[in-house]
Chains A and B, each alone.
Chain A
């Protein structure tokens, strides 16, 4: 060991009135992650809010965030993982290695966004030819009902649809009641959220 270094390591340094930087247990290079500052926390909160929204829209979202929990995994992603990779656990910190393992497991065609920090994929299976979902009841709607559904999801009221179609408002409401019954919903909001943009055959031009 060089003399100057060995000598230096024996001396405990204190500089009066000046805060000394802290050393980690294994030296400064291995010290714990710094606490994110306000700007970082704001972005992290925004990412998390968007992650939750996309999760509720059925997207599988995994995002590595520098917070205490070490990242966020949406419920849809957890369900997907429990179905497709039951042995993988995501309770700990989302390490780059774990993110890489997810990328290996998820079919490439289903991945929408893949960055070192973020993974968004669709839980729905892709097929070469687009086909309407098997459980969608939309093809059972009549042409007029599909037309009214199209105007409804554009935010038109029953009165406005009646004017557009040249029918009475009560007629449009009756059509809507039939649509509710066929699709098993109880309100216009539920109708738009559950079937608003689902693909179906023979959609009327609206």
Chain B
């Protein structure tokens, strides 16, 4: 029988339903966020309580692991870490996981620092002596649950007094699996919002900023006006009565503050690319 190519399901045997529900509840509270920074801030403040760690670090790495773009820590650690940032970048290469090139494994599993270097040996590591000792961080778990277009999100948990157990590893893994779709949905929202802001700015730059107030159905009617000057044919095409179309056009005109249909056509004509072959000289210019 050929070996199965199906990846085994991750192990969550050590976690109770209560632990899972705690993570689910926390993430449900973040579902409506529109901003990755806000999500990062909320995670930093809420997750350490559920994961039982003194610190959660949310690190944004370059997609090819070439460098750390930005990162956030729990408030108590942030103050101490700020003064150690320069030193950290010098000695980060001594990290027991990075130094053996095993960080890629953190995409699919949770890595425990003490599995790579015993606590006794880590105490002699320059990274510990220069940075971790001052942070009072002796034990660490790390996981990279999210791969976004412009970054990798690496989560680190730190403790000062006792090492992480299998249960902690599974909790972080579970959190990562649930966090991934949430983070990418927030990224989608950011992405769409940027595209929409770009479009509405562009329409505004042509002196038709109020057009951006229209809904998508109303904009589609305007598109039809450009292709079919006859309102009868538009009504037929959309499967509505001519009166209904006139009423919809009336609502559009009212929203734009226009008096009649020809003014509406004129406003559309003003946005034609033929009339804007030269970029506006000033940001508010027509």
Contacts and interface: CB of A to CB of B under 8 A. Distances in A.
Contacts of B216: 42, 45-46, 48-50
B191 A66 contact: yes
Nearest to B218: A49
B78 to A, nearest CB: 26
Query: Contact residue range for chain A?
Result: 35 or more
Contacts of A153: 262, 266, 269
A31 B7 CA distance: 13
Interface string A15-28: 11110111101111
Contacts of A46: 196, 215-216, 219
Interface stretch (A139-147, A164-172, A185-193): A185-193
Given A53-B223, A113-B198, 4 more contacts: A4-B112, A28-B108, A46-B196, A116-B191
Given A18-B17, A29-B147, A49-B223, A116 B194 contact: yes
B129 to A, nearest CB: 24
A57 B202 contact: no
Given A5-B109, A45-B216, A56-B226, A11 B11 contact: yes
B123 to A, nearest CB: 19
Task: Output the residue of A54, A59, A133 with the most chain B CB within 10 A.
Answer: A54
A18 to B, nearest CB: 5
Given A56-B223, A117-B191, A155-B263, A15 B273 contact: no
Task: Output the residue of B174, B265, B273 with the most chain A CB within 10 A.
Answer: B273
Contacts of A117: 191-192, 194-195, 198
Closest 5 CB pairs of A and B: A2-B115, A27-B108, A155-B263, A196-B269, A58-B273
Interface stretch (B45-53, B87-95, B132-140, B180-188): B180-188
Contacts of A15: 12-13, 15, 17, 20
B8 interface: yes
16 contacts: A2-B112, A5-B111, A8-B170, A14-B13, A27-B108, A40-B188, A45-B216, A49-B217, A53-B220, A57-B271, A124-B274, A124-B277, A192-B265, A196-B270, A197-B270, A198-B274
Contacts of A113: 198-199, 201-202
B140 to A, nearest CB: 14
Interface in B190-227: 191-196, 198-199, 201-203, 205, 215-217, 219-220, 222-223, 225-227
Interface of A: 2, 4-5, 8-9, 11-18, 20-23, 25-31, 33-34, 36-37, 39-40, 42-54, 56-59, 63-66, 76, 96, 109, 112-113, 115-118, 120, 122-126, 130, 133, 152-155, 187-190, 192-194, 196-199
Task: Output the residue of B109, B170, B274, B275 with the most chain A CB within 10 A.
Answer: B274
Task: Output the residue of A28, A123, A199 with the most chain B CB within 10 A.
Answer: A28
Contacts of A29: 107-108, 144-147, 152, 180
A133 to B, nearest CB: 7
Nearest to B270: A197
Contacts of B278: 126, 130
A155 B258 contact: yes
Nearest to A56: B226
Interface residues of B, number: 81
Contact of B185 (A34, A43, A57): A34
Contacts of B202: 54, 112-113, 120
Nearest to B17: A18
Chain B binding surface SS class: helix
Contact of A155 (B145, B219, B266): B266
Contacts of A65: 192, 195
A155 B195 contact: no
Contact of A190 (B15, B166, B229): B229
Nearest to B15: A15
A18 B220 CA distance: 44
Contact of B219 (A25, A49, A58, A96): A49
A11 B277 contact: no
B125 to A, nearest CB: 17
A122 B272 CA distance: 10
Contacts of A45: 216
A40 B192 contact: yes
A135 B226 CA distance: 20
Contacts of B230: 189
Task: Output the residue of A13, A22, A59, A194 with the most chain B CB within 10 A.
Answer: A13
B149 interface: yes
